[in-house]
Chain A
């Protein structure tokens, strides 16, 4: 009965590799997000999708590419991984369509990415 799930929970990889993180929500929400939490625990939004459409794209390197096959899934693909990509990546979802933002975001458990 997990609301927002992410896989994998831990990801350790070498510099230069390409990796993906998957996110799924079973809440029937329209909007999904990716946030990055750095080593100082600072959280910053990366992307959001509403019904498979990109809504927010912060100044993230184009090595990061989100993909939303349907509104319940938002995956994050990272090319040519760098040391600075090491962080915890959180997926989140919210009910509404990205207009008046009075809805709560529900977060997944996070994926800890370590780039060696």
Chain B
């Protein structure tokens, strides 16, 4: 069965620090990969997605992610975080022939100190 694992449960950073959130998935076939963000009390918003092509994907708000197929990983990065990046971050995967079902990781809570 497909699964998604996010390495860090809670990350605390100071403003301007660099961010990397780990995400690994288990599935042998072709997958599509997503990072969603959930700001406090709000709904999920798409940060970025990978379907095919360049494995380095750029998203909104200065985020990027790199798909490394050999490592089954899709880590999220940002060179310099801001206090407004405080949120819950979810990695998600879906695959062909799964009816669009998204499998989510358990989420990483990011707290940025001003």
**Chain A interface residues (CB < 8 Å from chain B):** 4, 31, 33, 35, 40-45, 48, 50, 55-56, 90, 92, 94, 96, 98-110
Interface of B is mostly: strand
The CB with the most chain B CB atoms within 10 A, among A48, A105, A110, is that of: A105
**Extra A-B contacts (8), CB below 8 Å, given A42-B107, A108-B43, A109-B42:** A35-B102, A43-B44, A45-B103, A56-B101, A90-B44, A101-B94, A101-B96, A110-B43
Chain B interface residues (CB < 8 Å from chain A): 32, 34, 36, 38, 42-46, 49, 51, 88, 90, 94-104, 106-107, 109
Q: Report the minimum CB–CB distance from A99 to chain B (whole Å).
A: 8
Q: How far is the CA of A44 from the CA of B104 in the complex (A)?
A: 7
Known A-B contacts A101-B94, A104-B49, A107-B43; the reply to A48 vs B107 at CB < 8 A is no
Contact A105:B43 (CB < 8 A) given known A41-B106, A42-B106: no
Which of B46, B98, B104 is close to A104, meaning CB atoms less than 8 Å apart?
B46
A41-B106, A104-B49, A108-B43 as given contacts; A98 in contact with B90, CB under 8 Å: no
Given the known interface contacts A101-B94, A107-B44, A109-B42, the answer about A43 and B100 at a Cβ–Cβ threshold of 8 Å is no
Cβ–Cβ contact A109 & B94, under 8 A: no
Asked if B100 contacts A96 (CB within 8 A), the reply is yes
Instruction: Provide the bound-state CA to CA distance between A21 and B15, in Å.
Output: 39
A-B complex: 6 closest residue pairs judged by Cβ atoms: A43-B104, A107-B44, A98-B99, A101-B100, A55-B99, A101-B94
